[in-house]
Each structure stands twice: as structure tokens, then as C-alpha cells.
Amino acid sequence: MAEEFEPKIVAFLCKWCSSAGSDLAGVSRMEYPYNVVPITVMCSGSISPLYILSAFSRGADGVLVSGCHPGDCHYIKGNFYARRRIALINKLLDFIGLEPQRFQMSWVSAAEGTKYTEIIKDFVKELKPLGPQTKLGRDL
């Protein structure tokens, strides 16, 4: 039997909430799938659509963007910009024909290690049946 497909996921986490939340998951020794490689950025508002397209074109099977909860942004309102931008990116990816499940946005606070763990688990579970992403990706 062929080995189970393991999706490759890039997660863009804002430094102050989501990255801190993922640190808390670590401190609390919660276990989650290893498929996600996080990149910590200062703010979810700094995540350019190009980052997401770049990740897909470099072979990511899924991309996660996670920021502070709306209203709790360390930089006052960056996550509101992120939210609007993500809505547009969703439309673009839909237009390209990428499965909508491959791109997710979540709000994870510094206190939500459990939530971060659950999000990763669910994301990996959702991506597995989709198989490798080939619309934008190239074989690496």
C-alpha cells in the first residue's frame, strides 16, 4: 500500500498572537501533525498576497494565515487589513481553480495554544483527501 499523502503546509503567524499561541502549544506539550512549517511575521497585515501565491507555486499543499483576534491587533488594526485582503485572495484562488480548503485564515491569541493545535489538526485532516496541489505548484 502506498504511503499516506502528507501535505506540506506553510503557516504565516503574526508574532504577537498566533506565534505566541503556537509557543504556548509547545510549552503545554500539545501534540499536532508536523506538516506545518511556521514563518513568523510581525503582523498578519504584513502578509502580501504574493506570499501566499509564492508558497503555492513553490509546492505548498496548504497555506495558513493566522493573526490576532479582530480588535486585538498588536498594531491596532493590521488584522482588519489582513481580513479584507484574505477575502480578495480567496476570490483569486477560486478563480484560478484552487480548492478553497487549501487556504485558511484563523485568529489565534497568545492564550490559545489549544486552538492552534486544533486548527493544525483539522487543516491537515482536510488536506489529506485532496492530494498534492498541482494547480500552482511544481514538483520540488
Partner 1 sequence: MKRTGVFICHCGINIAGTVDVKKVAKELSNHTGVVHSEEYIYMCSDPGQNLIIEAIKENQLDSVVVACCSPTLHETTFRNTVKSAGINPFQCEIANIREQCSWVHKDMEKATEKAIKLTKSAVERVHRNESLDPISIPVTRRALVVGGGIAGIQSALDLANSGYEVILVERSPSIGGHMIQLSETFPTLDCSQCILTPKMVEVSKHPKIKLLTYSEIQDISGYVGNFKVKILKKPTYVDPDKCTLCDECTKVCPVVVPNEFDLGLTGRRAVYMPFPQAIPATYTLDIKSCPGLLPIACGKCADVCEPEAIDYDMKPEIVEEEVGAIIVATGFDLYDKELMAEYGHGKYADVLDGLQFERLCSASGPTTGKILRPSDHKEPKEVVFIQCVGSRDPELHCAYCSKICCMYTAKHAMLYKHHVPDGQAYIFYIDIRSGGKGYEEFVQRAVEEDGALYLRGKVSKIFEDKGKIKVWGVDTLSGKDIEIDADMVVLATAMRPSEGAEELAKKLKIALDKDGFLSEAHPKLRPVESVTPGMFLAGAAQAPKDIPEAVAQASGAAAKAIAILSQERLFHAPTVAKVNVNLCTGCGMCVHVCPYDSLSLKDGKAEVNEVLCEGCGTCSATCLRAAIEVKNLTPLQVNEMIGASLGG
The residue ranges that bind partner 1 (CB under 8 A) are: 8, 10, 20, 22-27, 29-32, 34, 37-43, 45-51, 54-55, 58-60, 71, 74-78, 81-82, 85, 117, 140
Nearest to 123 by CA among 107, 108, 102, 94: 102
Nearer to partner 1 by C-beta: 30 or 130? Answer: 30
Q: How far is the CB of 134 from partner 1 (least distance, A)?
A: 14
Inter-residue contact 107 to 78 (CB < 8 Å): no
Nearer to partner 1 by C-beta: 47 or 98? Answer: 47
> Could you write out the DSSP letters of every residue in 115-130?
HHHHHHHHHHHHHGGG
Q: Which residues contact 89 (CB under 8 A, 6 or more apart)?
A: 49, 52, 103
Element (H, E) at 89: helix 78-96
Q: How far is the CB of 121 from partner 1 (least distance, A)?
A: 11
Nearer to partner 1 by C-beta: 42 or 126? Answer: 42
Nearer to partner 1 by C-beta: 8 or 102? Answer: 8
Q: How far is the CB of 5 from partner 1 (least distance, A)?
A: 14
Q: How far is the CB of 126 from partner 1 (least distance, A)?
A: 19
- In Å, what is the CA distance from 69 to each residue of 25, 49, 83, 130? 17, 20, 10, 29
